[in-house]
Chains A and B, each alone.
Chain A
Amino acid sequence: MTVLKTSMRNFLAHKGRMALSAVAVLLSVAFVCGTLVFTDTMNATFDKLFANTASDVSVAPKKDDDAQETGKPQALPAALQGKLAKVDGVAKVEPHVTSMQLTVVNGKNKSLSPTSGAPTVGTNWDESQKKSVEITSGHAPHGPAEAVLDSDTADKHGVKTGDKLRVIAVPGDFTVSVVGIATYKTTNPGAALLYFDTATAQAKLLGSADAFSSYGLTAASGVSNEQLKERVTTVLGSSAGDYAVRTAAESKEENKKDVGSFLDVMKYALLGFAGIAVLVGIFLIVNTFSMLVAQRTREIGLMRAIGSSRRQVLRSVLTEALLLGVVGSVLGIGGGIALAVGLMELMGSMGMKLDLGELTIKASTPVVGLAIGVIVTVLAALLPAFKATRISPMSALRDAGTPADGKAGKVRATIGVLLTALGGLALAAAAKADDAKAGSGMLGLGVFLTLVGFIVVGPLLAGFVVRVLSAIVLRVFGPVGRLAERNALRNPRRTGATASALMIGLALVAALSVVGSSMVASATDQLDKSVGADFIIQSENQQPLSPAAVKAVKGAGHVEHVTEYTIVNAKITTPDGKTATKRLSAVTPTYADDVRAETVKGKLKDAYAKDAMSVPEGFAKDNGVKLGDRLKVAMTGGRTAELTVNAITSDDTSIDQGAMYTNIATARNYLPADKMPLDFMLLAKAADGQTKEAAAALKASVEQYPQIKVRDQSDYKKLIQDQVGQLLNMIYGLLALAIIVAVLGVVNTLALSVVERTREIGLLRAIGLSRRQMRRMIRLESVVIALFGALLGLGLGMAWGTTSQKLLALQGLGVLDIPWPTITAVFLGSAVVGLLAALVPAFRAGRMNVLNAIATD
């Protein structure tokens, strides 16, 4: 009881000193809980959405992953409707038409498609739609020239009833006028929705009056969904295998699959970043308790002298940690919920309107949050707590001045250097690895060992690195700089731990920036080296190009040639009898000029001969394919061809790595027209000296298709750079949390050491150090610690990044590019961060009472 009372009193007495540790726990727990609440809410929202829209039983074409990308939505014969209506227990059959292969543009030729990656959906207006939306203005669509638009898209783009929209669908373009606006009754998942009457949807989206995308069956009363599914399957008989018959529950699961797995990936990624923040927070907590124990040496000695057992001392420190963990976690859980609400608002601003009423807080969330917060805090306090138990009762009698300089031991040095060396070896092995899998294992091991090694050896490096940094940075500040240097050096373990926390976040930033910029550099290099085409023409939403668009591009002037590029799914049987499903790149032979793929055997040109192909090096090796071998290629939905291997391409490339090339004419030969996949990309080469004119002509040719972009090589490079840049920025944003916690650690260390050095500060002020000089001294100490952490982190990160690049060179990441501007900016940024971290501690040091130094207690 006394122990608890003492712990409570200590905790409350030092609430200021505990505050930053509590914030670290709070942030980590908030990140974890926020992630859980947010993903749970998203899951619940989608569950509700899909449950709302699912029919009792639905009949759809069986999804075939191998089907060719013909651009036409899979469809069912209209005749099936009558057959299904006759099934015993069916109350109603509703035919649905749905297509996501469309682009909608307004009168200004601007696409209404969501920029978030959510689809644009065209569908028929029927009873089932009324479950999720209602028409809030205008009326339902009738006839071939009317459509209803969802209100969110309408609001975003200022579309009103009466406006004309052009719909670009695979069967062809058509124009409709908006006759009504439909508003979501449930959560809007972010898609753009356009409703037509059923006949229009059939004709314009599916290209056939005799087809539907799916049927929704309503069960008669007394018939369960499962029973109905069984009966439908029986009626369909032998052809049941061609259909996907699902109950409402199964539909929900099916629809959830993609979203659910995306949410899972997001959840674990976010939790990963939360984990890094937790790791960094551990350093902060260890430091806090170490310093509190050091400051209380005399007090603990007194407790021991008057008869407290070691156990009691241990328990008293751990109880304090427990209190800290509980307080931090409880606040963190609240913070997490707030964070989730914030994320939902953010999603709302990006087009997905989430209802705050849907906020889902599972019982497990606070439990997990509390467990993480408390366990981490108590574990982090263990080491300092054990140190406290070793305080001798004699300490009560000794003079409790500023704790003596900490010395880093030899054992520590040996272990640290050994770990770092082993890690270095692992990294070297990873860099040299021939096999990506083994190499990535080595990389992981190397990253882990060097990180731990650096953390262990950090305090020793502090002595050396801080001296060097001081010689460069602090020299100009004269005696104040020297005082700052000595202060940073006086407890290397503390400085090391503080800097290590910063090191972790910055190492990851550096490693990713190296990989990212190497990606851009490698892609640019490859483009320069092997792409001869002047223009790359692609659709923005990853959709194939419609035949009309391809025709338009081919008609452009000032162009030497236009290369078509499509993907044909096929089963390939190799001479050794093995069969594998592969994606063939079927291209116009001019592709050989557009992308100069290196061959190891044969000439690429020959691969475009009639009934010929190329295979990549790796495939040839694995399957024992030699030049001149004939492979059986069964094109999905078409006939089986025997193609001669006329070239073997090198795998040492980042463009089209592993592609199997064949002439698009060969593919057309073996595939019926309606199974021929649409072009995925077009490449064009300008006529000699007419690059400008060609660019204008090509852009003009696709003017009607705002989703199609014509890019020259520099545009394309910029696109890659932007994409990588966006990804990196997102990751940096998430790493910012870990860095913030680390900065809190710097603030904490400084704040505690200012308290610890009250006497020294008073003395310095008494003998004439001005407030300004005092503040500068603290700031410089902070800057040196931050720069030390940055130096370690950036060094470590660059080593990781370089190793990753060497390893990924196998995957075409051939060029190492260290982004010096980023590295330099991070280094200098750390100095700024150091200054900011010192703001409050420096201010407090400046305000400290001079007389405290002299008052002898």
Chain B
Amino acid sequence: MTTAVSIPKTGGSGGRTAVAARARQVVKAYGAGETRVTALDHVDVDIARGQFTAIMGPSGSGKSTLMHCLAGLDTVTSGEIFIDETEITGLKDKKLTRLRRDRIGFIFQAFNLLPTLNAIENITLPMDIAGRKPDKAWLDRVVETVGLAGRLKHRPNQLSGGQQQRVAVARALAARPEIIFGDEPTGNLDSRAGAEVLGFLRQSVDELGQTIVMVTHDPVAASYADRVLYLADGRIVDEMHSPTADAVLERMKNFDARGRVS
């Protein structure tokens, strides 16, 4: 199974497509000739709007590469990627940068924040760069949601790892991007802090209608998602809706076993 296109192309509310992002026949390869390594092998995927999608897979499966390509951070060898109706493959750096700035939010595993800026400055940074004024009411709500009200003037080095990730979540939410990409956003956190951050992400999908794509290898993290995509050897090999941690773990074990046998 190399596709995960299971959602009608239009639907939902407001006339916008129900698909926030889609990939068509995306190939990402490094090197050439005998040393050629294929990280993504003709992947088709649709990311549903207003949903929390998790991408899972063993190390080297291409899950991070897929996310980077979807987010416009990396280029593809062939194939097409759309954010909403905009094709981003082939966009020049300038337009791509603007797209990331205005339409995409990011949460990374670590080094999410500029050490020279305090929490609130970090949260509003994408809007500041764009020269946009943040929507005060929205900003307050986001800050309230992630529970940072008392720490807005703190520098990152004065915040705990969990708090830092919450600032990163707030930054991603504050600009109201069409889609937020998370690259193992809880990878560096203990389980309690991780649960907190995942809770916020879930909440933002449920209450704010945010679209989120998250790469993870943690079944518990994946269980917060609406849908889990499984990648192996650069292909989408399976997907699961309304996952639970146990179910995800079970399916992972299967893949591992299969991988070992073959």
A: residues with CB less than 8 A from B are: 399, 401-402, 404-405, 478-480, 482-483, 486-487, 489-490, 759-760, 763-771, 773, 850-851, 853-854, 856
Contacts and interface: CB of A to CB of B under 8 A. Distances in A.
A767 B157 CA distance: 20
B247 to A, nearest CB: 27
B90 interface: no
Contacts of A764: 114, 129
Given A401-B111, A850-B73, A766 B106 contact: yes
21 contacts: A401-B110, A405-B115, A479-B128, A482-B121, A486-B114, A760-B111, A760-B115, A763-B108, A763-B112, A766-B73, A767-B101, A768-B97, A768-B101, A768-B129, A769-B97, A770-B97, A773-B129, A851-B68, A853-B108, A854-B109, A856-B187
Chain B CB count within 10 A is highest, among A404, A489, A763, for A763
Given A479-B125, A851-B68, A767 B106 contact: yes
A768 B126 contact: yes
A768 B129 CA distance: 7
B183 interface: yes
A486 B112 CA distance: 17
A404 B157 contact: yes
Contact of A854 (B121, B157, B183): B183
A769 B108 contact: no
B100 interface: yes
Contacts of B183: 854
Interface in B117-138: 117, 121, 125-126, 128-131
Given A401-B111, A771-B93, 11 more contacts: A401-B115, A405-B157, A482-B121, A490-B115, A490-B116, A760-B111, A763-B114, A766-B108, A767-B101, A769-B129, A854-B109
Q: Which of A399, A489, A767 has the most CB of B within 10 A?
A: A767
B154 interface: no
Contacts of A766: 73, 100, 106, 108
Contacts of A480: 129
Contact-residue size bin, chain B (C-beta under 8 Å from the other chain): 20 to 34
Contacts of B218: none
A400 to B, nearest CB: 11
Nearest to B113: A763
B199 to A, nearest CB: 23
B100 A767 contact: yes
Given A759-B111, A766-B106, A486 B116 contact: yes
A478 B130 CA distance: 10
B85 interface: no
Contacts of B73: 766, 850-851, 854
Contacts of B144: none
Contacts of B157: 404-405
B102 interface: yes
Interface string B163-200: 00000000100000000000110010000000000000
Contacts of B93: 771
A707 B200 CA distance: 91
B74 interface: yes
Nearest to A855: B64
B241 interface: no
Nearest to B100: A768
Contacts of A487: 116
Interface string B87-109: 00000011001101110011011
Contacts of A854: 64, 68, 73, 108-109, 183
Contacts of B121: 482
A767 B124 CA distance: 11
B116 A483 contact: yes
A478 B68 contact: no
Give me the 8 closest cross-chain CB pairs, A-B, nearest first. Answer: A768-B101, A486-B116, A479-B128, A759-B111, A770-B97, A768-B100, A767-B126, A768-B126
A768 B128 contact: no
B100 A853 contact: no
Contacts of B130: 768
Contacts of A769: 97, 101, 129
B114 A483 contact: yes
Contact of A767 (B74, B110, B129, B131): B129
Contacts of B111: 401, 759-760, 763, 853
Contacts of B105: 767
A770 B108 contact: no
A490 to B, nearest CB: 5
A308 B197 CA distance: 41
A765 B121 CA distance: 16
Contacts of A399: 110
A773 to B, nearest CB: 7
Contacts of A767: 100-101, 105-106, 125-126, 129, 171
A401 to B, nearest CB: 6
B118 to A, nearest CB: 10
